[in-house]
Amino acid sequence: MITKKQILTFKKSADTLYASADYTSATILYFKTLFAIQDLMLLEETGESPKDHSERFKTLEKHFPDLFRELDIEFSTYRDTYSKIIDKETCNRIKKTIENDIKKYKIKE
């Protein structure tokens, strides 16, 4: 089960990589943070966490349309992390999304 503490730990690790200019690795961890935020919201709303990305998309669309749109827009960037070097601008965009979600959903210890 995902916790707020785990989300903040993922974010902190991503921030460390970001500070060292490893934008690809930072982006991967920012996405891990994003997925964790989404899974926590779904767990709180439905009592269940998705088992994979397909289920996450489907459940988000039903219960959290804003989070669904956010993921839908950026999922190709996530896939790019497997085969491309991610630039600072792209990483900043994902980082800002995460920071907005952490604030919006009041994720703090």
**Would 65 be classed as within a structural domain?**
yes
In a domain, 109, yes or no: no
71 within a domain of the structure (yes/no): yes
> Total domain count for the chain?
1
**pLDDT at site 24:** 98
Cα-based angle 72, 57, 39 (whole degrees, multiple of 5)? 110
Inter-residue contact 33 to 24 (CB < 8 Å)? no
Of the candidates 35, 27, 25, the one whose C-alpha atom is nearest the C-alpha of residue 67 is 35
b/e burial code for range 57-71 (CB count within 10 A of at least 16 → b): bebbeeebeebbebb
For 107, the 3-state DSSP assignment is coil
| Domain boundaries, position 91 | 4-104
3-state secondary structure of 49: coil
Tens place of pLDDT per residue across the chain (109 aa) = 899 999 999 999 999 999 999 999 999 999 999 999 999 999 999 999 999 999 999 999 999 999 999 999 999 999 999 999 999 999 999 999 999 999 999 999 7
pLDDT of res. 25: 98
Phi then psi for residue 100, to 5 deg, are: -65, -40
Instruction: Note the pLDDT of residue 35.
Output: 96
